[in-house]
Amino acid sequence: MANYEELKKKAKDALETIADVSAEAYKLAEEKARILAKKAKLNAEITREKAAIRRLKSEIGSKYYELHKDDPEEALKENCESITDALASIGAKKREIEELKTSGSCCECDDECCEPAAEEGCCASADEEGCCKPEVEEDAVSTDE
């Protein structure tokens, strides 16, 4: 029976060792998880702060441009001129879009072409439905082969 008792003691010691190692591994994993969570939180806070800085720099730039666009400091003169040029280009493109919207207007009623006329017969070239441009018919596609 000595072998049985000896084997029982070795098994008990092995289980205690496994339990101790498991507890230590759990504590280590718990500490690593806590550290990782803290790092993630700090990185998120850093990201928020950087976003706030970018927003504030953008606001400063916008305010500077509005206050000094006509007489900027030499170091910012080229940037201000680029902004002014870009704004002028945007304005020209918007005007061109408006011109294109009205270029298709009916010569009589000033409605957009292919829109129903506001009043019956207000457009000299309008069809029965009040459209001053004929609709383009699409070719019928045959499914028979």
Q: 72-108, pLDDT tens digit by residue?
A: 999 999 999 999 999 999 999 999 999 888 776 555 4
Going by the DSSP 8-state scheme, the letter that residue 72 receives in this structure is -
More confident of the two residues 129 and 145: 129
Q: Is 80 in contact with 65 (CB distance < 8 Å)?
A: yes
Dihedrals φ, ψ of 105, to 5°? -75, 155
Q: What's residue 16's pLDDT? A: 86
Count other C-beta atoms under 10 Å from residue 130's C-beta. 19
Q: 35-71, pLDDT tens digit by residue?
A: 999 999 999 999 999 999 999 999 999 999 999 999 9
Name the nearest CA neighbour of 112 among 103, 120, 121.
103
Q: What's residue 1's pLDDT? A: 57
pTM: 0.50
Q: What's residue 68's pLDDT? A: 96
Q: Please, which residues bridge with residue 105 across strands?
A: 112
More confident of the two residues 52 and 21: 52
Give CA–CA dist 127/113, Å, rounded.
11
Confidence of residue 142 (pLDDT cuts 50, 70, 90): very low
Check whether 11 has a pLDDT greater than 60.
yes
3-state secondary structure at position 105 = strand
Q: What's residue 6's pLDDT? A: 83
Q: Please, which residues bridge with residue 40 across strands?
A: none
Give CA–CA dist 145/137, Å, rounded.
23
Mean confidence (pLDDT) of the chain: 81
